[in-house]
Chains A and B, each alone.
Chain A
Amino acid sequence: MAATVKMTKPKGSIEGLTGDAAIAYALKQCDIDVLSAYPITPQTIIVEDYQRFFAEGQVKTKVIPVESEHSAMSACIGASAAGARVATASASAGLALMWEVLYCASGMRQPIVLAVANRALSAPINIHNDWSDSYGARDSGFIQMYCQSCQEAYDTTIMSFRIAENHNVLLPAMVCIDGFILSHNVERVELLPDEVVRDFVGVRVPVQPLDTDKPITMGPLCLTDYYFEFKEQEDKAMREVFKVYKDVEAEFQKVTGRSYGMYETYKTKDADIIMLTHSSPAGTAKAVVDALREQGEKVGVLRMKLFRPFPAAELAKELSSAKAVAVFEKCLSFGAPTNPLALEVRTALYDLPKKPMVTDFVVGLGGRDVPPATIVEGYNKTKQYLEKGKAPLYETLGVRK
């Protein structure tokens, strides 16, 4: 399931864009009705760029410059409930402030697109990248997609409306990029012509909106007799994402020649050790794999993209022939036996008759660099553990202990 990034079919333009700018441009082309957002580094460029489109009269969007992230998501819910296509963007403390209403957005089944430039959480305050913010929201009922390049961020933003607004899904979606590493890094991005994007995303067809001709009640009090049933519905909708995601991507590929998959594999076919990660460390890991392969090591990379819902069944198949899976993740779950990404991977593998060993390396917190040496260190440790037949549940790498 390798990512295919081939030449685009329709002629768009090629630009050097940061991850944030690529997302802002995608939002512009998706003709959203409402953007309601609050600035926070490293997401701010998205809001700033969008306000510039607005100031230049390039969008018909109503941009709501809210007074907080809590209100940003709340206004998105209101606009979406009225039937509008809406988006917002945040990171770190901003996402944390949205917390309560993330669950409202998903529980009320509003297909809001939320771009996240992943950033560490306070304290101490830190503006750089790790995944603590959106990982913390992994149970919030948002679809979560993690991107590795600016091109992917652009493409995924466009696809995310189709996935979220699909009537079998109707769930909000997070498009995540690594703060600074991607959000502020200029890369080559092939932009689609406006009309191609417009045709691809179409116009949102809302389900049960606030409509004065058909007055419904939204967000009532549901107690012991019904609350659970709505959570069951939500869970079912989340499971529908697998199919819808594949369909939307297949269509996108037809139009653009590009697709990414729920995850991407790199030289994993004959690999004894598969390094599993996502976002920017995946790029580093691929470079490490190339170097290690030259030394004769049988190693590959599996880059996750879709984290919610988590494609456990496919992943188990993909990993089953490896001897070990080395997970690299930028989040610590204090007091947990293991950390969020490894937890999912271990769960996915649990039912295999012959399980690969899983190692879990917590790296890069607060934007600490994750150089090839750190990946190599994790790889070497995994090799040693394999020889010993025993590995710790997790360890931190790249920190002075």
Chain B
Amino acid sequence: MSMKLKDLLQAPEVLGSGHRMCAGCGAPTVMKLMGMSLRGPTIVCNATGCLEVATTIYPYTAWKVPWIHVAFENVAAVASGIVEGINAMQEKGRYKQEHVDVIALGGDGGTFDIGFGALSGALERGHDFVYMVYDNGAYQNTGIQRSGATLPGQETTTSWAGKAEPGKRQRKKPIAEIVAAHRIPYVATVDPFHYRDFITKFRKALEVEGPAFIHAFSPCPRGWRSESSKTIELARLAVETGIHPLYEIIDGEQYIMSGPSKSLKELKPVDEFMKLQGQFKHLFTPQWEDFRKQVQQQITADWELLKKKCGVE
């Protein structure tokens, strides 16, 4: 595909203006980059969550491609049905398109947690579709509750920071690797700042046969209590601090570190990522100094492990 700037800018919008996601939300940009990666007729399935709710408030839709929402925990199953329904109709000669790409979109809640069973099942069955999680680190739509994607030390409305607790204590699920363990052909992590990396990977995901999975980092100014202007900067910092390293996993075994992560001489301290967000504010008090250090150690250790898997220095 052409990665020329002019061609990218001319890609038809998948999500138009007039949607009601918060000012500065990362998700619409993630959708825009997905749109720039498309290669032909596409159907989008969306799990319940901020993206679904704020883009389709009846009687308005911001979507310009065929789009379906059914429920929160089943988007991978809905996509399975669409893929196989189309396959069957094609084989019986009653479907006009020769090929349609099917994309399933879920939030971190709809993917790491409640929709995980449906996702795992669809991956195991091997339908040809792309699943993308837009990960904003919590159940944002219902008012910022913790999820399996919430970071240690992150304050949410179900993991409060208080005298006794530093926010969420547990680690974040390594969803990309869990998904890759299904031995599907393609898994990649992306973020909106590194947009060329994003588009290249999403296109690959469409092109492989069988299921592909994209883990997109998607800052949420509302839930994170960050300035709306800092969304893309936070995406960049997530990569540079090792919170969200960029890599690909081919066939569940071959790890490839992507350019933007590979070129990092060393990680920036996670503090730089955390300091821009109200949800980590408490970690900068003396009481949680040690906890913050532990989080840093964890992130560094994970990064070293990833480098090893990728065969990087």
Binding site for B on A (CB under 8 A): 31, 33-34, 36, 60-62, 64-68, 70-72, 74-84, 86, 100-101, 104, 108, 203, 210-223, 225-226
Contact = CB atoms under 8 A, between A and B. Distances in A.
Interface string B91-109: 1101111001000000000
B87 interface: yes
A78 B118 contact: no
B81 A212 contact: no
Contacts, number: 165
B69 A75 contact: no
Interface of B: 41-43, 45, 52-53, 56-59, 61, 63-71, 73-74, 76-82, 84-89, 91-92, 94-97, 100, 117-118, 120-122, 124-125
Given A77-B78, A223-B58, 4 more contacts: A34-B84, A78-B79, A84-B86, A101-B71
Given A62-B88, A80-B85, A108 B80 contact: no
B74 to A, nearest CB: 4
Given A68-B118, A221-B58, A82 B82 contact: yes
Contacts of B53: 221
9 contacts: A33-B88, A64-B84, A66-B80, A71-B77, A71-B118, A80-B81, A84-B89, A218-B66, A218-B69
A75 B125 CA distance: 13
B67 A218 contact: yes
Nearest to B124: A67
A38 to B, nearest CB: 10
Q: Which of A78, A100, A213, A226 has the most CB of B within 10 A?
A: A78
Q: Which of B67, B79, B124 has the most CB of A within 10 A?
A: B67
A74 B66 contact: no
B188 to A, nearest CB: 24
A70 B77 contact: yes
Q: Which of A31, A76, A86, A217 has the most CB of B within 10 A?
A: A217
Contacts of B89: 33, 82-84
A108 B66 contact: no
Contact of A78 (B61, B77, B124): B77
Contacts of A108: 70
B43 to A, nearest CB: 5
B69 A220 contact: yes
Contact of A70 (B57, B79, B82, B118): B118
A57 B70 CA distance: 32
A62 B127 CA distance: 11
Contact of A86 (B63, B85, B117, B124): B85
A76 B84 CA distance: 10
B262 to A, nearest CB: 36
Given A71-B118, A219-B70, A220-B58, A212 B94 contact: no
- 8 tightest A-B contacts by CB? A78-B81, A67-B121, A79-B85, A75-B81, A84-B85, A220-B56, A212-B41, A71-B77
